[in-house]
Amino acid sequence: MNAYPASVDVAIVGSGPTGATYARILTERAPHATIAMFEVGPTVSQPPGAHVKNIEDAEQRTHAQRRSEGPGAGSATVNSPGAVRSGERRARPGTYLLADGFQADGEDGLPVVAFSSNVGGMAAHWTGACPRPGGSERIGFIPDMDELLDDADRLLGVTTDAFDAAPFTSLVRERLAAVVDEGRDEAARVQRMPLAVHRREDGRLVWSGSDVVLGDVTRSNPGFSLFDESLVTRVLVEDGRAAGVVVRDLSTGDEHEIRARVVVVAADALRTPQVLWASGIRPAALGRMLNDQSQVVYAARLRDVDPPREDQIAASGALSEQSGVSWVPFTDDMPFHGQIMQLDASPVPLADDDPVVPGSIVGLGLFCVKDLQWDDRVEFSDSELDSYGMPAMRVHYRLTDRDHDVLDRARAQIVELARAVGEPIGEHPFTMPLGASLHYQGTTRMGETEDGRSVCGPDSEVWGVSGLFVAGNGVIPTSTACNPTLTSVALAIRGARRIASALAYV
């Protein structure tokens, strides 16, 4: 049973990186403020919100992933691209699929649209990739975006040197650069992938989750409280401004009303608009402009490389990382973003007499921009409920001719990259089922002005509802190919600063 407060200054719905960003910035800039954070899922790692990869015991790590799978717990999961090869509709460990409503008749839909329900959200399971947006990915009406991205790097603990000691990492980048870099600006050339990860003195990698964003400063803040297994069913609105939230304690089923001066909804790109809809907050753009990043993956075996030396074998017998993580940035001329990293094994069987140098199988992934469409959307029912008792979702989603063209170009490009790196494995690349990127955006999109095509303004405050802010990938208004978390955190920093400034005068 949770002991909820009667009132707080700020109520935050969701404990992912952007919800954690609001708590962190408010702690730093308005230390007198009281903050309550509500998460529908359980605490699965320590400190709360930590990445499950940091759990060294494999059995405990699997248990944490299972507990993150909400209504889907117990279902079979599969690591990609296995789901593509098998043709099965399965979630990845730590996530669960939308049970129905993911594909309307005659539409492409998002067959593997997925969620996580746990403290830390999807950041307890993500790859940690934090590239910066470029070209048309950038939001033109945010003048301080670069400074915000710098601060987002700080909160997420982004580094570029965690894999510098990997013996194949420079080789992979050199081979990619030979076919990519010509004619590109320096910032768009092949480079190390910025990652929310650091390496400890003992050599072990530590992946950032919401725990890193919160930091010791927030955890030690006496005015901050985190409540897990707590479902926010609606936002209270009085006289045109947010007044608090209604929370259902999932351990007892009891509902509680918590008053708040400010409410931040940072549930995810599908559940944030769901909470607003359930609250009767229904601007025309809510749930609209939904976009996912279509994803093409392939693999190659590095040629002309030597096996790892004895000093590259960890004490446990596990291999150290060999090829690191490389980044092929998005450009408007090549409208996809590339993430190239080591695979633990070949995605297709190899002959027994065809030995593979450990660490020499490299996975290549290209994420494609989406042609933004008003009718690509998530709708919510006024009569049907989901497994949490919230308005049921139904996704409407189509690929346009332009989307198919970009996908065709990505397939051709990834074959060229695989050949540059080494020997392609398999006859052709895989096209992942829609929804596989987990990078859903646009459903609570930001706008420069209240023109009916956006849900919130440049500070993430919802149009027409003072004191209500939205956060997460859904706020991003542009079509992106790069991983969106860094951008979402940057936008959350801007919103949190706005709240902190207002609270300073209360």
pLDDT in tens, 124-152: 999 999 999 999 999 999 999 999 999 99
Please name the residues in contact with 331: beta carbons below 8 A apart, sequence gap of 6 or more.
Answer: 134, 135, 184, 188
Task: Give the pLDDT confidence of 167-205 residue by residue, as tens digits.
Answer: 788 889 999 999 999 999 999 999 999 999 998 888 788
The residue whose two tokens read 């027409």 is: 464
* Confidence check: pLDDT of 119 > 50: yes
Compute the Cα dihedral for 498, 499, 504, 506 and give only its sign: positive
The pLDDT of 257-275, averaged and rounded, is 98
* Confidence check: pLDDT of 318 > 50: no
Q: Tell me, what's the pLDDT at 345?
A: 57
The pLDDT of 90-112, averaged and rounded, is 95
* Confidence check: pLDDT of 472 > 80: yes
pLDDT band at 82 (very low <50, low <70, confident <90, very high): low
Nearest-5° angle of CA 93, CA 473, CA 119? 45
* Confidence check: pLDDT of 316 > 50: no
Which residues are paired to 292 by β-bridges?
A: none
CATH topology of domain 7-503: FAD/NAD(P)-binding domain (3.50.50)
Nearest-5° angle of CA 11, CA 497, CA 447? 90
Nearest 10 degrees: Cα torsion 139, 141, 144, 148: -40
Q: Tell me, what's the pLDDT at 319?
A: 35
Q: Give the range among 210-219, 288-297, 299-308 with minimum mean pLDDT.
A: 299-308
Element (H, E) at 485: helix 485-503
**Phi–psi pair at 409, nearest 5 degrees:** -65, -40
Q: Tell me, what's the pLDDT at 201?
A: 82
Q: Which residues are part of the catalytic machinery?
A: 439
Residues above pLDDT 70, as percent of the chain: 91
User: Are the beta carbons of 498 and 292 closer than 8 angstroms?
Assistant: no
Q: Tell me, what's the pLDDT at 359?
A: 67
pLDDT band at 313 (very low <50, low <70, confident <90, very high): very low
pLDDT band at 353 (very low <50, low <70, confident <90, very high): low
Task: Give the pLDDT confidence of 439-453 residue by residue, as tens digits.
Answer: 999 999 999 999 999
Q: Tell me, what's the pLDDT at 317?
A: 34
* Confidence check: pLDDT of 348 > 90: no
Q: Tell me, what's the pLDDT at 180?
A: 97
Residues above pLDDT 90, as percent of the chain: 82
Nearest-5° angle of CA 205, CA 207, CA 211? 135
The pLDDT of 355-377, averaged and rounded, is 88
Q: What share of the chain is helix, strand, coil (3-state, %, to 5)?
A: 25, 25, 50
Q: Tell me, what's the pLDDT at 309?
A: 58
Average pLDDT score, the chain: 92
* Confidence check: pLDDT of 13 > 90: yes
* Confidence check: pLDDT of 343 > 90: no
pLDDT band at 502 (very low <50, low <70, confident <90, very high): very high
- Nearest by Cα to 96 from 118, 68, 63: 68
Helical packing angle, 145-156 and 485-503, nearest 10°: 100
